[in-house]
Structure 1
Amino acid sequence: MAQEKFTFQAEVSKLLDIVAHSLYSHKEIFLRELISNASDACDRLRYAALTDAAPTGGDADFKITLSVDKKANTLTVTDNGDGMNRDDLTEVLGTIARSGTQAFVDQMAASTKDTGKKKSKDAKGGDDMALIGQFGVGFYSTFMVADKVEVLTRKAGDKKAWQWSSDGKGEFTIDEAERDARGTDVILHLDKKEKEYLDPARIEHIVKQHSDHIGIPIILKGDGGEDGDKTLNTASALWTRPKKDITSEQYTEFYHHAAHAFDDPWMTLHNSVEGVLSYTNLLFIPSTQPFDLFHPDRKAQVKLYVKRVFITDDCEGLMPSYLRFMRGIVDSEDLPLNISREMFQHNPQLTKIRSGLSKRIMGELKKKANKKPEEYADFWNNFGAVLKEGLYEEPENREKILGLARFKSTTQDGWTSLEDYASRMKDGQEVIYYISGEDADAIAASPHLEGFKAKGVEVLLMTDPVDDFWLPSVGEFEGKAFKSAARVGADLDKVEDVDIDKKKDAKKDKAGKAIEPLLAQFKVVLGEAVKDVCASERLTESPVCLVTGEGDMDARLEKML
């Protein structure tokens, strides 16, 4: 078969150039990413071998090998995992199968422009790292140090091997090749300026810093002389170690590996549950929002293990969708090793694990919200809209989520909780008022709020699209109903404001009678275009406003549907 030449996706070509020139202060992460990919390949095959040992060919001794060739100026990362075929190479290395690639390129390009402010290299690198962490483009970091990358691979169970090759400048080739066994070699032809990555001591330092927690042995091949092969990592699952023996740096590096992320975790949850049901979780909440958080296919990136054996990273029953920002692992002692994907949805043990994880996560969020509200505000900015999906998805956790929810309002500068809102309610106020719309500043200036401002009544500003879905189903908080300020009946007759009420009482009856002919004329002119025309005390400056009828769908929800 003749060699085939392909062109990268247009966005990938731009991305390769941006990544290769943006992480100059963090180049060594390319090795972490390659080791992480190799570990995943071994995990996938180890799981497949639980039900069919044939693909392993009797070799279940998984390992990752690093080889240096100073004469050829190459560094090679080898694994004996599941390998790839031609289609895999085209799909995995020729494209980025994510809808937000162009958005990533745009953000990265914007971040490299001169803003007129001086930034240190470390600071700039940190910004880029955070951006790349949102999109996960680890393999392409190899072009920071290599002017050519080759991938020699053979899929487990196949007889054919394939070679992928690219200089990262827009094209790649795929050709048939020879490889004795399954697995993958990633061969980096290093740039002349990157000879440090041929130094065994430098390689060992990088592995110990970034990949010591990998559960598969990472072996540095000797040169055939006095120095023999050397295992560089402890090769034990981090989550099985006592928490007191794990440093924050080790947790962070594990997060980078498990989530393929570049940011640091905002929160780490490492717990073991023992009893009728035993499991360990090592979970993380990111400090940055993933770009595809609201994509329809987005799921929690939490890997399921059973007795330290990787099972799947696509277990829908493990984490509710409103916690899909979570990253990490769950290791069960009780689930069967041969659990099938069909069993995920209906396994009672998995349901209990899911319930326990949800309870613990929300409990830790509650502690953070109470003790460090400023830090919690960062979480809410990133993930609050997603968490609120749980208000209509899981009624059993509704009260917990309402307690965690934060909102902007007409009287507060920052975020406020429903509990704090309730404590500030005016005498005579019986409901929690809100108004929804796309922009907080725009809805805060709405004529619907004039009367509320005049009486000093606080109104919550609901700007997330999800708000229009959960509000009708939730209905109330601690006995206080939610009421839209843009809905009929949201008048403030019972709310006391002595200064205003005294002035109004004298004129109220007289004005009411005087306006009746005008209201009647409006009804005639408008006809069936409106349900009713009535006088209201909610307006203090504007002559008129439109409100939603009782029982009708809110205007924004109607527009979305």
Structure 2
Amino acid sequence: MKLDRFLLLVGISVGVLLATFATLAAAGPEVDVGGIPLGQEVLPKAPPGSYLTPEDQAKLDKGGEKYQFEAEVNRMMKLIINSLYKTKEIFLRELISNASDALDKIRFKSLQDKTALGENTDLKITIVADKEGKTLTLTDTGVGMTKADLKTNLGTIAKSGTADFISTMEHQKNGSNLIGQFGVGFYSAFLVADRVTVISKNNADKQYIWESTSESDFRIIEDPRGNTLGRGTQIVLHLKDEALEYISEKKLRELVKHYSEFINFPIYLWSERTETEQVPIEEEEAADDMDDTVEDVTEKKDDSKPKFKEVSKHIAEWELINNQKPIWTRRPSTIQEEEYNDFYKAFAKDTEAPLAHNHFRAEGEVEFQSIIFIPKRPSPAFLQSGDDWTHNLKLFVRRVFITDELPGFLPRWLSFLKGLVDSDEIPLNVSRETLQQHAILKVIKKKVIAKAIDMMKSLASKDTEKYLEFFTNYGNAIKLGIIEDASVKKKLVPLLRFRSSHDGNYTSLEDYYSRMRKGQPQIYFITGQNLEEFMGSPFVERLIARGYEVLYFLDPIDEYLSNALVDYKYKKLQHVGKAGLKYGDEDEKSADKIKEQEEEFQPLKDYLKERLSKWVDTVKISHQLTTSPCAVLSSEYGVSGTMERILQAQALGNKEDFRTAMYLNMKKVFEINPDHPLIIQMLAKVKAGKSADLDDSIYVLFESTAIASGFAVRNATEFAKKVENVVRQKLGVDLDKVANVEVAPAPAVEDAKEKDAGKEDDIETSEEGEKIEEVDDGHDEL
């Protein structure tokens, strides 16, 4: 579009929106554009499109003063259309935002001058779509524009009356930060319109009309109808053919709810629809419809039900679109819990009330308001791949929705949070579409994360039952935060909960710490898949028997958590399935006993290490076993059996990777119970020189123990064969005896010529089973 037209549109956007809405609000029931009561409000009747009659339009085209746009407008128009805005639909947000600014201005002025509002005290915004005229009309009852304002504001690139207003207010130091400055927002009107008409009435001037077709000039003329607005601005967009979708009431309703639902002022949409209703048939009408057939009198008496007919009814009325109020602008002490729940359901499109919320206002370095919620249930894609969670936090500027595309703003471990941030200080580019990289955003992010943690701590301290519900759903997120974010690790650790051998219920590390035995040097835990597996594990036998408490790490992520959470209050977290466990009450007497057992069982230890050298690095006397004969442990810096299964189950993992292969092939520690009769008998066999009879038994014992210890079988086929041999020995079946089975060989390979024999040459069968003859047309090539 041309430069002058573009500048014209820019000016129109600012002035027209303000004046249009002001005009409609000012119009009372006695004005021609008339009013109909709606509650306590007076709304104008909706016109069939533009408020200008064809005669008025003709006067505007011929008369008035013509002005040239400032230079470079054409280049600015191209920039706006091609680069500034992502989508055309943004125009409605921009125009409504400008209208809201105009309403804020007149309200602010009325605080200083009580006569500023006059008789037009109804501050609102109205939208009318005319399908026949292909126009979209927006009206506000704001401050409006004088003739000079129309020429200055709508004929200059990025000239904003709001900017001047703010500058004046700042010098007066009256704090007008609620007044917005939206740059070239008005120019967005030309994304969807090829002609824009602005009608505006300011208290200090007559009512004027400004119009441009985005060419090189624009016209301004005194409105021949006089003062029809009362005060405010009306913008009429003559839509392009490719933008007619914005005449749809449904589309307009969606856009207002998406971008401008929380504007301070009511937004009304003129809605027309046809409804059918059942009405009773009048007696006279029923009598005319009776046929000439004589009916039985008794039948007439029985037919006592009234007869109805369908009648179509045309309904046209103002519909309030933004009925959801921005409760975050109110003080938390004035808001009931039910109000928060209702707001969350509407805001997050959820059917259930949230588990918790935190409504706060940040002051100081950056001022903003925010409400964050914890949904009752996680989404199906919780902590999974994808970027849907990046849209959970919405950004507003002065209650106008800006964006929910904030990748990197919330960390992944807080991806379940939903909420909003509203600030007057968030730095935006001219289109408000792209956030600038600014320190303010980092400050806001830091405070939101801190408030989220405070919300969880408050829930944990005030409502244990509800917190356990939260942790059951979102505990993995807390653990992920400890693993990935060192800056919040210390704050998140108290929020952890684990099942415990103490009573089987969830417990915190602090509660475990308070129950630790005298001199206990470590916090004991075990990883696995379920409680039954833990209770039958050989690793916990002696610990539980002696009265020590063991934490049960049930989730796969706990394996990674144990690497990130090394200690708690200087007490090391010790995996009981790894070497290095200590009780803290070991003395010289027990040490001497162990030394004696080590020497006594040395022949068996040497033999076991020799036979199991492929998988075992060390064989030692166990300090943990009571009823089990042996256990397989990882080395102190190795991986547990659960972690091995995780590494092997990685669908996209590379088992040839150096680190993965190292962990999977790392040799184990084989502990034996010197008090178990099986181990005692094995020692006797080795000392008697009958160790060869033990080979299969040793292998089966090791593999079965490894399975009980949480490790996977090294070679399932070999393990099955060894088990079979042990069973054969138990039943007295010869190890060399095999099953007597006759195996019939498969037919010989069919000769190629025989394969082709019997086939019909050049015959194909269609999908319907029809035979189709191929016709040789003499062409061998395609």
Superposition TM-score, scaled by structure 1 size:
0.60
Per the alignment, residue 328 of structure 2 pairs with 239
Change (3 A) 1:552 1:48: farther
Secondary structure of 1:531's counterpart equals strand
CA distance 1:382–1:404, change in 2 (3 Å):
same
Distance in 2 between residues matched to 1:48 and 1:235, nearest whole Å: 32
State whether residues 220 and 229 of structure 1, in contact with CA within 8 Å, keep that contact through their aligned partners in structure 2.
yes
Alignment correspondent of 1:524: 610
Question: What's the counterpart of residue 193 of structure 1?
Answer: none
CA 1:506–1:367 in structure 2 vs 1: closer, same or farther (change >3 Å)? Answer: same
Partner AA of 1:406 in structure 2? R
Greater mean deviation of Cα atoms: 410-419 or 550-559: 550-559
Equivalent position of 1:375 in the other structure: 466
- 1:383 is displaced (CA, Å) by 0.4
CA contact 2:393–2:418 (8 Å) conserved in 1: yes
Q: Are 2:401 and 1:401 aligned?
A: no
Report the Cα distance in structure 1 between the residues aligned to 2:435 and 2:595, rounded to whole angstroms.
Answer: 69
Which residue number in structure 1 is paired with residue 635 of structure 2?
A: 549
Equivalence map 1:153-192=2 (5 Å):
180-182=244-246
* 2:558 is aligned with 1:467: yes
CA distance in 2, matches of 1:239, 1:225: 39
**1:319 and 2:410 equivalent?**
yes
* Contact preservation (8 Å) 1:259, 1:327: yes
Residue 218 of structure 1: how far off its partner (Å): 5.7
Within a 5 Å distance, the mapping from 1:114-133 to structure 2 comes to: none
Contact 2:523 2:573 in 1 (8 A): yes
Q: How many equivalent residue pairs?
A: 384
Q: Which residue of 2 aligns with 1:221?
A: 271
How many angstroms does 1:425 deviate by? 0.9
Displacement after TM superposition at 1:64 (Å): 10
> For residues 571 and 645 of structure 2, what CA distance do their matches in structure 1 show?
27
Aligned-pair CA distance for 1:323: 1.0
The question of whether the paired residues in 1 share the 8 Å contact of 2:567 and 2:573 is answered with yes
Superimposed CA distance per residue, residues 509-528 of structure 1 (whole angstroms, 9 cap, x where no aligned partner)? 55443222211111111113
497, 501, 504: which one aligns with 1:413? 504
In the alignment, the residues of structure 1 paired with residue 447 and residue 516 of structure 2 have an alpha-carbon distance, to the nearest angstrom, of 35
> 1:515 and 1:506 mapped to 2: Cα distance?
14
Distance 1:220 1:533, change over 3 A: farther
Partner of 1:539: 625
Residue by residue over 1:89-129, the C-alpha shift from the partner in whole angstroms, topping out at 9 and shown as x without a partner, is xxxxxxxxxxxxxxxxxxxxxxxxxxxxxxxxxxxxxxxxx
**8 Å Cα contact 2:262/2:400 also seen in 1:** no
Give 1:294's match in structure 2, choosing from 379, 383, 386.
383
SS in 2 for 1:540: coil
| Alpha-carbon RMSD | 3.9
CA gap of 1:245–1:264, structure 2 versus 1, over 3 A, is: same
Indicate if the aligned counterparts of 2:127 and 2:268 stay in contact, CA closer than 8 A: yes
Q: Tell me which moved more, 278-287 or 353-362.
A: 353-362
d(CA) in 2 for partners of 1:56, 1:186? 13
Counterpart of 2:354 in structure 1 is 265
CA contact under 8 A between 2:356 and 2:459: conserved in structure 1?
no
User: Residue 362 of structure 1 aligns to which amino acid in structure 2?
Assistant: I
Measure how far apart 1:487 and its partner are: 0.2
Task: Supply the AA of the counterpart residue of 2:485.
Answer: E
Question: What residue number does 2:158 align with?
Answer: none
Deviation at 1:545, TM superposition (A): 1.1
1:252 maps to a residue whose letter is N
Q: Which residue of 1 aligns with 2:457?
A: 366
The question of whether the paired residues in 1 share the 8 Å contact of 2:634 and 2:640 is answered with yes
Asked if the contact 1:408–1:460 (Cα under 8 Å) also holds between the matched residues in 2, the reply is yes
CA distance, structure 2, for counterparts of residue 287 and residue 533 of structure 1: 51
- What is the aligned counterpart of 1:280 among 365, 369, 392? 369
Do the aligned residues in 2 keep the contact of 1:492 with 1:538 (CA within 8 Å)? no
Partner Cα distance (2:598, 2:90) in 1: 90
Q: Is 2:85 the counterpart of 1:52?
A: yes
Equivalent position of 1:489 in the other structure: 580
| 1:444 paired residue number | 535
Provide the C-alpha distance between the structure 1 equivalents of 2:426 and 2:83, rounded to a whole number of angstroms: 14
The share of aligned pairs that are identical, in percent, is 27
Output aligned runs, 1:134-153, within 5 Å: none
Could you tell me which residue of structure 1 aligns to residue 693 of structure 2? Answer: none
1:432 CA displacement: 1.0
Match runs of 1:108-119 below 5 Å = none
Deviation of 1:250 after TM superposition, in Å, equals 2.7
Q: 1:173 matched to which residue of 2?
A: none
Residue equivalent to 1:248 = 337
Relative to 1, partners in 2 of residues 1:237 and 1:455: Cα closer, same or farther, differing over 3 Å? Answer: same
Distance in 2 separating the partners of 1:181 and 1:383: 42
Offset of 1:437 from its aligned partner?
1.6
Q: Structure 2: which amino acid aligns with 1:182?
A: Y
2:469 is aligned with what amino acid? Answer: D
Query: Measured at CA, do residues 287 and 549 of structure 1 come closer, stay the same or move farther in structure 2, by a change above 3 Å?
Result: same
Q: Residue type matched to 2:427 in 1?
A: P
Following the alignment from structure 2 to structure 1, what is the Cα–Cα distance between the partners of residues 86 and 624? 73
Is the Cα–Cα contact under 8 Å of residues 492 and 537 in structure 1 kept in the other structure?
no
Is the 2:263–2:399 Cα contact (8 Å) retained in structure 1?
no
| Aligned equivalent of 2:421 | 330
Cα contact 2:530–2:554 (8 A) shared by 1:
yes
8 A contact 1:306–1:336 mirrored in 2: no
The DSSP-based 3-state class of the residue aligned with 2:396 is strand
Q: Residue 519 of structure 1 contacts residue 534 of structure 1 at CA under 8 Å; is this kept in 2?
A: yes
Cα distance, 1:557 vs structure 2? 2.6
What is the distance in 1 between the residues matched to 2:509 and 2:565? 13
Query: How far apart are 1:493 and its partner, in Å?
Result: 5.8
Q: Distance in 1 between matches of 2:443 and 2:91?
A: 36
Q: CA deviation at 1:249?
A: 2.9
Secondary structure at the counterpart of residue 366 of structure 1: helix
Q: Could you say which residue in structure 2 is the equivalent of 1:479?
A: 570
TM-score by length of 2: 0.44
Paired amino acid for 2:271: K
C-alpha separation between the residues in 2 aligned to 1:272 and 1:183?
A: 39
The question of whether the paired residues in 2 share the 8 Å contact of 1:284 and 1:328 is answered with yes
- Structure 1 pair 64/449, CA: closer, same or farther in 2 (3 Å)? farther
Of the two structures, which has the highest relative contact order with CA contacts closer than 8 Å and spacing of 6 or more?
1
Are the equivalent residues in 1 in contact too, given 2:594–2:621 (CA < 8 A)?
Answer: no
Using the TM superposition, give the Cα deviation of residue 343 of structure 1 relative to its aligned residue in structure 2, in angstroms.
Answer: 5.8
Distance 1:236 1:342, change over 3 A: closer
* Residues 282 and 328, structure 1, Cα contact 8 Å, conserved in 2: yes
The DSSP-based 3-state class of the residue aligned with 2:560 is helix
Give 5+ residue unaligned stretches, structure 1.
1-46, 68-77, 81-155, 160-176, 188-210
1:143 corresponding residue in structure 2: none
Alpha-carbon distance in 1 for matches of 2:471, 2:583:
31
How far apart, in 2, do the equivalents of 1:465 and 1:551 lie? 18
Alignment of 1:67-78 (within 5 A): none
Post-superposition shift, 1:384? 0.8
Residues 277-327 of structure 1 show CA distances to partners (whole Å, capped at 9, x for unaligned) of 111111110111221112122525111223323222121232221111101
| TM-aligned CA deviation for residue 416 of structure 1 | 0.5
Return closer, same or farther for 1:427/1:226 CA change in 2, 3 Å cut-off. Answer: closer
- Write the letter of the residue equivalent to 1:524: E
How far off is 1:539 after superposition?
0.6
How far apart, in 1, do the equivalents of 2:321 and 2:426 lie? 32
CA distance in 2, matches of 1:520, 1:461: 34
TM-superposed CA distance for 1:470, in Å, is 2.5
Q: List alignment gaps of at least 5 residues for structure 2.
A: 1-79, 97-124, 130-135, 139-189, 194-240, 252-259, 274-312, 648-782
- Indicate if the aligned counterparts of 1:50 and 1:337 stay in contact, CA closer than 8 A: no
